Chain A
């Protein structure tokens, strides 16, 4: 299996699915239409010659200022062919909705929860899309680029009085 054959196979099976494709350091990346993601992933997994049975990684990226702002990235591995392919799906800023891959790969369950928790991506068809890392009552999604990096002004000798005056110290 090589990248050209793979691209050809996907293109002939789902002509409208691929928005763009690129190759970097020998790895093929396919940017897909969100609607086609489940079909293409199932095709890659179930087609006997392709056999991408292992979802290695699932994560979300925030390209602030770009349209679509978010991108969900999947890395698939075919153990039989020892070949990898990367799938990417864009998600819009106002309502970042991407189909869930949990029905195909159970491992996607927690990784999609992580992407939801930290990045705020919604996965349609996910069995229980809840926060996985942050406390349940957390507001917002902390890994987004528009969330401030630091949390609190650092106290030095010159400003510690001001900061400690506002700091909520615990009571006994």
Chain B
């Protein structure tokens, strides 16, 4: 059966542009290839064949921030590393999202000391926090699915108001829908 024959019977599907765009964004979300500490091991585990992140269109970890749209901050961010993380974030093209993976990236974890940034949300705006030390790959995948849900609700105008988890620029905390 040729493609013309098949296409002839498909008919027309109507949807909104927003849905198509958001569907495209969620299903090919490429993370930036970097890990900062022990959590990165679980992130690698999530990408391995057992948990297989490529089911969600995320098989490609891009080593260049120009080609990535998701930053998974996996591990503790030292104060010396913080400017580097921010620069990587600034180099990523819009639209871009950030997942803070693990307690260290979310709030400093057990490292309440001079060397560690107390939560990567001091450096980059975070969309989803994944708790755990380290979070299991399931937890990371859950966080990614949550981010997908959030991306699907984004408006084409760029307003992300009804997102499930978010810190607004006015410092209002987590809205869970």
Contacts and interface: CB of A to CB of B under 8 A. Distances in A.
* Interface residues of B, dominant DSSP: loop
Given A151-B116, A165-B171, A135 B79 contact: yes
Contacts of B156: none
B123 A142 contact: no
Interface stretch (B42-50, B106-114, B135-143, B146-154): B106-114
Nearest to A168: B122
Given A134-B80, A169-B167, A172-B169, A150 B112 contact: yes
Interface in A148-172: 148-152, 154-155, 160, 164-165, 167-172
A160 B171 CA distance: 12
Contact of A151 (B113, B123, B125): B113
Nearest to B107: A155
A20 interface: no
Interface string A3-31: 00000000000000000000000000000
Contacts of A160: 173
A77 B125 CA distance: 51
A148 B115 CA distance: 12
Q: How large is the interface on A (under 10, 10 to 19, 20 to 34, 35 or more residues)?
A: 20 to 34
Interface residues of B, number: 21
Nearest to B121: A169
A128 interface: no
Nearest to A149: B113
Residue from the set A134, A142, A170 with the largest chain B CB neighbour count within 10 Å: A170
Nearest to A172: B125
B124 interface: yes
Contacts of B118: 151-152, 167
Interface in A63-96: none
Given A135-B79, A169-B167, A171-B169, A152 B112 contact: yes
A149 B125 CA distance: 27
21 contacts: A133-B80, A138-B79, A142-B115, A148-B114, A149-B113, A150-B112, A150-B113, A151-B108, A151-B112, A151-B114, A151-B116, A151-B118, A154-B112, A155-B107, A164-B171, A169-B121, A169-B125, A169-B169, A170-B122, A170-B124, A172-B169
Interface of A: 133-135, 138, 142, 147-152, 154-155, 160, 164-165, 167-172
Q: What 9 A-B pairs have minimum CB-CB distances, sorted nearest first?
A: A142-B114, A152-B118, A135-B80, A150-B112, A172-B125, A170-B125, A170-B124, A170-B123, A169-B171
